[in-house]
């Protein structure tokens, strides 16, 4: 463990991101929080030296981080930087030992900075929630479209102990070089509502004969969506080749705002090789706010056939909620 701890602190303290943006205003002044020179250097094997360790046991977990809305369709900024708010959970057992939670943040060639987290509300039993704010030396509204597309920054929560040891959150990203990354591709936010929790919420959509559908509960970002489909809604394409089925009926899901698409079969077969309904399960992206569902029936035998159930090309759309909302 000592060798891995030494390797890990090099990564967490000095690894650089790949933000290639060059236009926009310079980032003047000194970084807020502790600079790279103030963050402790990699530890040696000296007797009694405190360790830096990865946490895989839910002692420190990032819950969320995202830009702060300005309520008029945009986001709050502090000069050239957008403002990000975030939350993390720290285990009460670690806090009782004197641990202090914080967030490390790093962009491009800038040094890692440490930002203090303050107590907040909302954690599960056995943990305390903390809130933090990042508002300097990060991407912002003055960057061009190409620069924003190339920009990224990394964050990682830590627990700092009285003996100087630090515990780094790797409950979501287990690889030693892998921190949380925020970029245009993920909407500049991360949500971890179900990491280190007992279960993920599961919503069911049932598409019934007669062109109706039912939904049992809210679809939750980061949770599971189970789709069942009555095969009689699209009964036309049922080809067989040498006694074996050559047809499929697939559910398609497109999640917004990022447009991620998933598809899975909703047909199985009984002992007589007759088609039967089979649930399709999709993991809802943590960034999702809505989802479109449609279905495709096709046959690849010597008599090609295809049919669509897509609400006359409009697809059927459902809202996606945040955990606890």
CATH number at residue 177: 2.60.40.2440
Pick the last residue of a domain from 191, 223, 255.
191
Residue 302's pLDDT is what? 67
Same domain, 48 and 107: yes
Q: How many CB atoms lie within 10 A of CB 323?
A: 19
From 160, 191, 222, the end of a domain falls on: 191
Is 213 contained in some domain? Answer: yes
For residue 40, what is the enclosing H or E element? none
Residues 55 and 176 in one domain: yes
Position 81 scores a pLDDT of 97
User: Does 235 lie in the same domain as 106?
Assistant: no
What is the pLDDT at residue 124? 78
What is the CATH number for 223? 2.60.40
**Residue 263 counted as domain residue:** yes
b/e map of 23-34 (b: 16 or more CB within 10 Å)? ebeebeeebebb
Distance CA 128, CA 90 (A): 5
Q: Among all chains, which residue has been given the structure tokens 């398609």?
A: 252
Instruction: Identify which of 220, 242, 232 has the alpha carbon closest to the alpha carbon of residue 286.
Output: 220
Residue with tokens 């569902």: 293
- H-state helical runs in 52-203: 92-96, 145-150
3-state secondary structure of 29: coil
Model pLDDT, residue 50:
65
Domain end point (choices 191, 214, 242): 191
Whether residue 88 is found in the same domain as residue 234 = no
Residue 197 lies inside a defined structural domain of this protein:
no
Q: Cα separation of 113 and 103, whole Å?
A: 8
- Distance, in Å, from the CA atom of 189 to the CA atom of 124, rounded to the nearest integer, reads 22
What are 222-243's pLDDT values in tens digits? 888 999 999 999 999 988 887 7
- Please give the pLDDT value at position 324: 60
Rounded to a whole number of angstroms, the CA Rg of the chain reads 25
Q: What is the DSSP string of 51-79?
A: PEEEE-SSSEEEEEEEEPB-SSSSB-EET
pLDDT at 125: 81
Asked if residue 167 and residue 24 are part of one domain, the reply reads yes
Residue 143 lies in a domain: yes
Same domain, yes or no, for 98 and 129? yes
Residue corresponding to tokens 């819950």:
63
> Do both 176 and 103 map to the same domain?
yes
Confidence (pLDDT) at 194: 82
Host domain of residue 287: 202-321
How confident is the model at residue 73, as a pLDDT? 82
The answer on 25 and 158 residing in a single domain is yes
Co-location of 172 and 308 in the same domain: no
What are the tokens at 90? 């720290």
Q: Are residues 51 and 95 in the same domain?
A: yes
Tokens of 94: 């670690």
Taking a C-beta distance cutoff of 8 angstroms, is the pair 178, 190 a contact? no
Number of domains in the chain: 2
Ranges of the chain whose pLDDT falls below 70: 1-50, 302, 324-325
In 177-314, at which residue ranges do the beta strands (DSSP E only) sit?
Answer: 180-183, 190-191, 202-208, 212-215, 219-220, 224-229, 240-241, 244-245, 247-256, 260-265, 267-269, 275-277, 280-283, 290-299, 305-309
Q: Is residue 196 part of a domain?
A: no
Both tokens of 128, joined, read 């305390």
Tell whether 172 and 54 lie within a shared domain: yes
Question: Are residue 9 and residue 45 in the same domain, yes or no?
Answer: yes
- Name residue, tokens 């939904």: 215
**Distance separating alpha carbons of residues 189 and 66, to the nearest angstrom:** 4
């Amino acid at each position: 463990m000592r060798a891995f701890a030494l390797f890990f602190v090099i990564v967490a303290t000095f690894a650089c991101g790949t933000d290639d943006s060059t236009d926009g205003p310079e980032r003047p002044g000194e970084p807020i929080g502790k600079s790279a020179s103030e963050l402790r250097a990699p530890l040696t094997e000296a007797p009694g030296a405190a360790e830096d360790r990865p946490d895989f046991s839910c002692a420190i977990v990032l819950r969320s981080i995202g830009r702060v809305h300005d309520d008029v369709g945009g986001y709050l900024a502090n000069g050239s930087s957008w403002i990000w708010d975030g939350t993390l959970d720290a285990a009460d057992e670690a806090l009782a030992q004197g641990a202090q939670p914080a967030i490390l943040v790093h962009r491009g060639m800038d040094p890692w900075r440490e930002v203090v987290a303050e107590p907040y509300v909302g954690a599960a039993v056995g943990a305390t929630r903390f809130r933090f704010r990042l508002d300097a030396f990060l991407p912002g509204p003055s960057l061009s479209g190409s620069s924003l597309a190339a920009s990224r920054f990394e964050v990682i929560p830590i627990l700092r102990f009285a003996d100087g040891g630090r515990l780094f959150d790797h409950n979501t990203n287990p690889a030693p070089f892998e921190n949380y990354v925020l970029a245009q591709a993920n909407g500049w936010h991360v949500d971890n509502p179900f990491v280190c929790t007992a279960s993920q919420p599961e919503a069911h959509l049932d598409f019934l004969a007669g062109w109706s559908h039912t939904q049992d509960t809210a679809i939750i970002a980061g949770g599971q969506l189970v789709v069942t489909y009555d095969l009689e809604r699209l009964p036309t394409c049922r080809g067989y080749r040498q006694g074996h089925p050559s047809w499929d009926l697939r559910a398609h899901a497109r999640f917004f705002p990022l447009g991620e698409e998933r598809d899975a079969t909703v047909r199985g077969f009984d002992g007589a090789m007759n088609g039967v309904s089979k649930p399709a399960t999709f993991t809802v992206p943590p960034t999702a706010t809505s989802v479109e569902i449609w279905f495709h029936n096709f046959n690849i035998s010597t008599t090609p056939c295809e049919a669509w159930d897509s609400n006359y090309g409009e697809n059927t759309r459902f809202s996606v909620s945040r955990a606890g909302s």
